[in-house]
Structure 1
Amino acid sequence: MKIALMVIIGYLLGSIPSGVWIGKVFFKKDVRDFGSGNSGTTNTFRVLGKKAGIAVLLMDILKGTLATSLPLFFDSSINPLWIGLSAVMGHTFPLFAKFKGGKAVATSAGMLLGYNPLFFLFSATIFVITLLLTSMVSLASMISAVLITLSTIILPFVWPAILPEFNWLLTLIACGLTVFIFIRHKENIVRIKNGTENRVPFGLNKAKK
């Protein structure tokens, strides 16, 4: 019963459509009607600006972190990654936004933060470096997902201070989310191949003014 309750709460936390709500309350806009049509962080940055984008990023990360931390409050022996995963699914298919949500990146990061803060920082560093090299959030997200998945296998043997032991569930979820992230970015992949993908205004391949 406790497990089912945590899964439901995790999903509902993930279902909070941060970008949609912030857009409608403060800007009288639905971010899904503009740009890529996505309600996640990247499209919010482009449509509503830096402050709104940062707010959505933090809220989406927090959703994953809170969900992953639920077993601490319910005193359950369940692996917290399962509950964090329910938040990721809620973020991607939100009940409160007609099941049209984000691409799972920020809330997945929040899940890592709740599970292992050091591994979260390691993963965030990979993403930032990749973003600076590519200047494309979509490409950085996909490359980082692959590298982070590989890290779940390698780090326990080469850098146990970050991941003390191999966790098959962490690797399994990382593999699943990597595939899922690639699927959610299929339109971005087409634009990357065509050289028309949006770029951020910094990094080695930054957008030209």
Structure 2
Amino acid sequence: MARHRLFDEDILVIGLGRFGAAAAIEMDRLGYRVHAIEGDGAQAEKFSRRLTRVLAADAADPSQLAQAKPQDFRVAVVGIGTSIESSLLTAGNLVDAGVPSIWAKAVSAEHARLLERIGVHHVIFPEAESGNRVAHLVNDRMMGYIEFEDGYAIVKMSPPQEMIGFTLAETDIRKKYGVTVVGVKAPGEDFTHAVPETKVGRHHIMIVSGPSKLIEQLASRP
């Protein structure tokens, strides 16, 4: 039977060390088709049966990266941390390929500055941003994600289309998805506590709480 996918999209992950592997495995669990590039052949083989595709190659080399067709991906995550040079060259190759959303791990403030100068869209410090957490943020709907040990999460996210122009009572999100909209924020205003009469606009940001798996279902909606 075909696997149900919350996020029906192909994602490219480069580097399967601790951070990259955690991001890749969590994105696979969320339903993404994860394509990975890993320079260490043994490490690539280790994940070959767990991800959609794993290529043993050096992504810092444009000709080797080209085998993965990076231009076909909307999102790429660079988890390389052992070599700043490889990280920068790989990120630069992804920028040259025109990948719209590039996330890259930084090991220092200077590394982060150079990644941003190259054109990386999201720079991650693993001490603050785990690979697991980043996996939930790459879909562009969630802007913040905190998960607790019991599978409960609180997220900051943009509303799905089905909520826009309706009050919380009209959409009945709590009954439909099993999550609670705690607060909303309109541009230029502070967060306000959500009530049934709260009307959700296109540019609102919502604070949503509930079981992480149920929040993922809401975040997967167009």
Please give the range of the TM-score, normalised by the shorter of the 2 chains.
under 0.3
Return the index of the structure with the highest Cα Rg. 2
TM-score (norm 1): 0.26
Question: Which structure carries more relative contact order (alpha carbon 8 Å, separation 6+)?
Answer: 1
Q: From the two aligned structures, give the one with the greater helix fraction.
A: 1
